[in-house]
Amino acid sequence: MSHYITMYVLLFIRNDTGILKSIYMAQKLSAEAAKRKAARDLAFAKTPDRRAKKADAQRKRRADPKGSVGKDWDHKNQRWESPAQNRGNDGLGTKSESGKKYKTK
């Protein structure tokens, strides 16, 4: 029986804010484009709706630590779902869900 040793090397860089980021990015962007995208992403993450959803998901996770392992809270269906299912809107894509308000308390 052969034994294989698999070694993974994770490379990280420290960005302008001091946060470690993987050098393996999903998109190949220039440094300037990456900075603009990071600013857009941060601005969207700080909207009142996104903050409310994140706080609600955090409350739910703290209330159900075992049931939430490896899952995302779906604010539309009010249940734990796999990240792929939740982020892909149950296979329907995210355009139809854009701008909708869901219960966060």
Q: Which residues, including other chains, have CB under 8 Å from residue 95's CB and lie 6 or more apart?
A: none
In the Cβ-directed half-sphere of 24, how many Cα atoms lie within 13 Å?
3
41-77 pLDDT tens trace: 999 999 998 899 899 999 999 999 999 999 999 888 8
Beta bridge partners of 12: 22
| pLDDT value of position 66 | 93
Single out the residue of 79, 61, 63, 82 nearest to residue 71, CA to CA: 82
- The better pLDDT of the pair 103, 56 is held by 56
- In this predicted structure, the answer to whether residue 93 has a pLDDT above a threshold of 70 is yes
pTM for this prediction: 0.62
- In this predicted structure, the answer to whether residue 2 has a pLDDT above a threshold of 80 is no
| pLDDT value of position 95 | 77
The per-residue b/e assignment along 21-60, b for 16 or more CB within 10 angstroms, e otherwise, is eeeeeeeeeeeeeeeeebeeeeeeeeeeeeebbeebbeeb
CB 75 within 8 A of CB 104: yes
Structure confidence at residue 6 as a pLDDT band (50, 70, 90): low
Residues 94, 73: Cα–Cα separation, whole Å: 16
